[in-house]
Homo-oligomer: A and B are copies of this chain.
């Protein structure tokens, strides 16, 4: 039996998604809990990797089980008994072998929450970037102008940290918006794929633009440099949420 499932997790107490020896990871907890639920060893494959402390409101996995006999509709309730409180399995469907939960992704969207208050609220700790230094009034429009430079197909080498092992640094951004709601800034970035730390460096660079370290038009030059040291700081993981994962409409027949 092969399941496709949507999960949510609060990343705070995880060393990221991917299994690592001796660390608490989302994949590790899912494997353990789903093996207990199904009474058989399982293989869990994720749509993406997320860093330590990064959250997911919509993360997709496939579960390959030798002897899974629980109907997909019942899996969320069955698994809830074995999952820790910071992971939920929201829904599950049966899934075709020809579908790949990672390679068949057509786009992903991340949300980044920044709360700009002199004193951070306990409700935002670990769930947003709590930034005390006031973003100047013109910061919002500066960030929006800077964000526009990233739309389209470009080489994002300047916006990735060492440690990414991919060959190509070219990605296509279809959305990069900045909204302000009260003392909160919401960044939304959608692309066909993301490099290691890419969203966090994009957000960090925008925030430094708001403070005047860069002009919006400098983004062009930073992209062209392909040099990480030209871009801004890496925003903390606490504010980052994988918010939506998209597949070909065609994939619906597998899901």
A10 at interface, CB cutoff 8 A: yes
Which residues of chain B are within 8 angstroms of A89 by Cβ–Cβ distance? 119
A38 at interface, CB cutoff 8 A: no
| Interface size bracket, A side | 20 to 34
Which residues of chain B are within 8 angstroms of A76 by Cβ–Cβ distance? 118-119
Assess the A85–B123 pair: CB atoms within 8 A. no
Quote the shortest CB–CB distance from A6 to chain B (angstroms). 10
Quote the shortest CB–CB distance from A73 to chain B (angstroms). 10
Assess the A85–B125 pair: CB atoms within 8 A. yes
A229 at interface, CB cutoff 8 A: no
How many protomers of this protein does the assembly include?
Answer: 2
A186 at interface, CB cutoff 8 A: no
Quote the shortest CB–CB distance from A217 to chain B (angstroms). 36
Partner of A8, one of B77, B87, B90, B123: B123
Assess the B121–A88 pair: CB atoms within 8 A. yes
Assess the B119–A86 pair: CB atoms within 8 A. no
Partner of A122, one of B9, B91, B122, B125: B9
A120 at interface, CB cutoff 8 A: yes
A to B CB contacts below 8 Å, 13 in the list = A8-B123, A10-B122, A10-B123, A57-B121, A57-B123, A76-B118, A77-B118, A77-B119, A80-B119, A86-B125, A88-B119, A88-B120, A90-B119
Given contacts A85-B125, A86-B122, 14 further A-B contacts (CB under 8 A): A8-B121, A9-B122, A10-B122, A55-B123, A76-B118, A77-B118, A77-B119, A80-B119, A86-B125, A88-B120, A88-B121, A88-B122, A90-B121, A91-B119
